[in-house]
With several copies, the nearest count.
Chain A
C-alpha cells in the first residue's frame, strides 16, 4: 500500500476494525477483481490453495501474479484462464516435474497466452521488501551477468554511487491483493506464523489489501501472550477467514504434511488439457466451497496428513 490511503481500516467502522472475520467467498469477491495484481503467501508450503479454488470459481480474469516460487497456485490459475501475466521466479513442481498448465499457456497459448517476466527469488524478495518499506526500489547482487537482465528492462544495472561497482536495482512490488495463510490469527487480523515465513511479512505490508486465511482463530489475548510470533500486524490486514486445510495438498507447518501423492495425481491429470479440466470439474467447480473440497479429498486422507505432521512438528 502506498502512503495516500492507509488500509486495514481507514474506511472501516470501529466494529469492523475489531472484527474483520468474513467468509472466503466474501473476502475474494471484495478484493480480487478482474485485472488485479495479486500475490500469495507461503513458499510452496503454506500457500492458500483454497483461495485459488475460490478465485477460479468466481471466474476472475486477467490477474497479474507477482510471486517468488509457486506450484499449484500458478499452475491452476493459469490453467483455469485467470492469469494474464506472471512476474516471478519459479513456476514448477519441484521433484515432480514441470508445471503443465504453465507450459501449455506459454508454449501454445492454451487456454490463453501468458506474459512471463523472469526474476530470481532473491530479486522478488527484494521487490517485496521495497514494497513493504514503501521504497521505490532495492538493490541486489543477483541476476548480474544473466539473461534475465537482457529480457527484463525493469532490472536496472547501475554503478553503486558509493563504491562504483555494479549492482542491480529492482522496482518495488505493490500488488492490489495479498492472500496469506497463517496458522493462527485473531479477528483484528494479527497473524501468527510458525515455520519458515517466506516473504509473507513484506507481502502483507506491500499489498493494498491483505486477506489472512488461517487454520485457527485465536483471541487477541492469546495474540498478546506471544507477540514475538505475530508476523503480520492487524493494520496490514483487511479480512480474516478461518479455512482449515486451506493449503492441502501442500503442507502447513504444525498442522498437516505435504500430500505428495495427491499432488502427483494432479500432475499426471494435468498433463493433458482434458485431464486438467476434469480435475477442475471434480475438485473446484464441483465443490461449492472449501468444506466440499475437503469432503471430496476425504477427511480421512486430510487427517492422515495431520497425523504425519504432528509426529514432527507441534505448535
Chain B
C-alpha cells in the first residue's frame, strides 16, 4: 500500500493518491505553476510526467523550472534546483508572481470557509491569536500565491473541523466576503480560488457569489457524507459527476514520483525504511534522468 491511510474501499488506491491525481489534472502543459510543498508538489511532478511535460514549476526559494528528477520534502531542498532553467532569489520569484507571470498555484490549509479563505496561521480554540490552541506554520508563501497567482487550487482533506463557517484567521484571502469585486477592492491582483480538491470530491466556485459548490465526487462517496463534513449549507452542482478511477499508469507514475512514500505516506512510511541507505537507493533508482 502506498499513500496515507487505507485504500479506498474496494479500490487499489488511497484517498491521498486520488487527490494527487485529481489535482494533477488542473495543470496545463506550458503553464507556470507555483506549488507548495507536500502533496501539491507531487501532483505537479506527476503532471509533468503525464500530460504536461512542459509544465514549469517555480519554488519560492528561487528556483524556476527544475527538471524534477526527484521529489522534494521542503521548497528549499537542493532537489528543487536540479537542472533549473533559472536559479535566482526568493524576492525575484515573488516579484514575478506579482507581475502575473504565474498561471496556477496549489495550496494546502488547515481551515477553509465557503469563500475559499484559508487559515494556515493558528486554530484559536478557546484561546486567541496570541495563545491559540494550535499554532500552525503561518503564511509562508501561501498568502502571496493566493493574492497574486492566476488561479489557485486548494488541496485539503474533507473534515468538518477544516471546512468551517468562519476561519479563525484569514491567512490567504479567497473571495473574502464573496461580495462582487471584493478582491479587487482591497487591492488583490490574482484570480483567487478555482478549485478545492479534497479527499472526497472537488469543489469549484460560483463566479457571481464567490461561493464554493460541490462539483465532482469520488467513486463510492455519498453526497450526504460530504454535506455532513462541511460547516455550512453546501451548494451541490445540478450536474454532479463522479471522478473516474485512476488508470494504473497514473498510479504507478505517482508512486514512482514519491518512491519512498514519504510525502503521500507521511511519518508512518519512515518507519518502513531500513535507513538512509535505503532512502538513497530508492531515490536514485526512481530518479528520472
A92 and B90 contacting across the interface, CB-CB below 8 Å: no
19 A/B residue pairs, CB under 8 Å, sorted by A? A2-B99, A3-B100, A6-B100, A45-B74, A68-B90, A69-B141, A98-B135, A106-B135, A120-B141, A125-B90, A135-B98, A142-B143, A145-B182, A146-B171, A151-B129, A198-B90, A199-B89, A235-B32, A250-B77
Residue on B with the closest CB to A256? B78
Size class of the A contact interface (CB-based, 8 Å): 35 or more
A261 and B275 contacting across the interface, CB-CB below 8 Å: yes
Q: Mark A262-273, 1 if CB is under 8 A from B, else 0.
A: 111001100000
**Residues on the B chain within 8 Å of A201, using CB:** 89, 92
**Residues on the A chain within 8 Å of B279, using CB:** 260-261
Q: Mark B109-144, 1 if CB is under 8 A from A, else 0.
A: 000000000000110000101111111111111111
**Residues on the A chain within 8 Å of B183, using CB:** 145
B100 and A258 contacting across the interface, CB-CB below 8 Å: no
**Residues on the A chain within 8 Å of B79, using CB:** 251, 257-258, 312
Which of B60, B142, B150 has the most chain A CB within a 10 Å cutoff? B60
Could you say which of A23-31, A54-62, A225-233, A276-284 contacts chain B? Answer: A225-233
B87 within 8 A of A: yes
A91 and B138 contacting across the interface, CB-CB below 8 Å: yes
A134 and B74 contacting across the interface, CB-CB below 8 Å: no
A107 and B284 contacting across the interface, CB-CB below 8 Å: no
CB distance from B17 to the nearest CB of A (A): 15
Which of A99, A147, A148 has the most chain B CB within a 10 Å cutoff? A147
Give Cα distance in the complex from A121 to B141, angstroms.
5
Could you say which of B65-73, B157-165, B203-211 contacts chain A? Answer: B65-73
Partner of B54, one of A18, A45, A95, A251: A18
Q: Mark A1-37, 1 if CB is under 8 A from B, else 0.
A: 1111110110000100110000000000000000000
Residues of B at the A interface (CB closer than 8 Å) are 29-30, 32, 37-39, 54, 56, 59-65, 67, 69-70, 73-92, 94-101, 103, 121-122, 127, 129-144, 147-148, 150, 169-173, 176, 182-183, 186-190, 262-263, 266-267, 270, 273, 275-277, 279-280, 283-284, 287
Give Cα distance in the complex from A141 to B100, angstroms.
12
**Residues on the B chain within 8 Å of A106, using CB:** 122, 131-132, 135
B37 and A89 contacting across the interface, CB-CB below 8 Å: no
Which of A140, A167, A196, A225 has the most chain B CB within a 10 Å cutoff? A196
Give Cα distance in the complex from A88 to B135, angstroms.
14
Q: With contacts A17-B30, A89-B140, A94-B37 known, is A235 near B135, CB below 8 A?
A: no
A175 within 8 A of B: no
CB distance from B219 to the nearest CB of A (A): 26
A161 within 8 A of B: no
A144 and B94 contacting across the interface, CB-CB below 8 Å: no
Q: With contacts A133-B95, A148-B143 known, is A233 near B138, CB below 8 A?
A: no
Give Cα distance in the complex from A275 to B97, angstroms.
41
**Residues on the A chain within 8 Å of B144, using CB:** 120-123, 142
Which of B75, B103, B284 has the most chain A CB within a 10 Å cutoff? B75
A98 and B78 contacting across the interface, CB-CB below 8 Å: no
Residue on A with the closest CB to B128? A151
**Residues on the B chain within 8 Å of A143, using CB:** 143, 147
Partner of B87, one of A6, A97, A227: A227
B132 and A312 contacting across the interface, CB-CB below 8 Å: no
CB distance from A159 to the nearest CB of B (A): 9
Residue on B with the closest CB to A17? B30
Residue on A with the closest CB to B147? A142
B87 and A134 contacting across the interface, CB-CB below 8 Å: no
A288 within 8 A of B: no
CB distance from B239 to the nearest CB of A (A): 29
B67 and A224 contacting across the interface, CB-CB below 8 Å: yes
Q: With contacts A3-B189, A69-B75, A107-B133 known, is A224 near B83, CB below 8 A?
A: yes
Give Cα distance in the complex from A198 to B87, angstroms.
10
CB distance from B271 to the nearest CB of A (A): 9
A134 and B100 contacting across the interface, CB-CB below 8 Å: yes
A145 and B188 contacting across the interface, CB-CB below 8 Å: yes
Within 8 A of B (CB), among A65-121: 68-69, 71, 88-92, 94-99, 102-103, 106-107, 116, 118-121
Which of A133, A146, A157 has the most chain B CB within a 10 Å cutoff? A146
Within 8 A of B (CB), among A164-210: 165-168, 188, 190, 194-202, 205
Q: With contacts A91-B137, A125-B91 known, is A233 near B73, CB below 8 A?
A: no
Give Cα distance in the complex from A167 to B147, angstroms.
12
Give Cα distance in the complex from A1 to B101, angstroms.
9
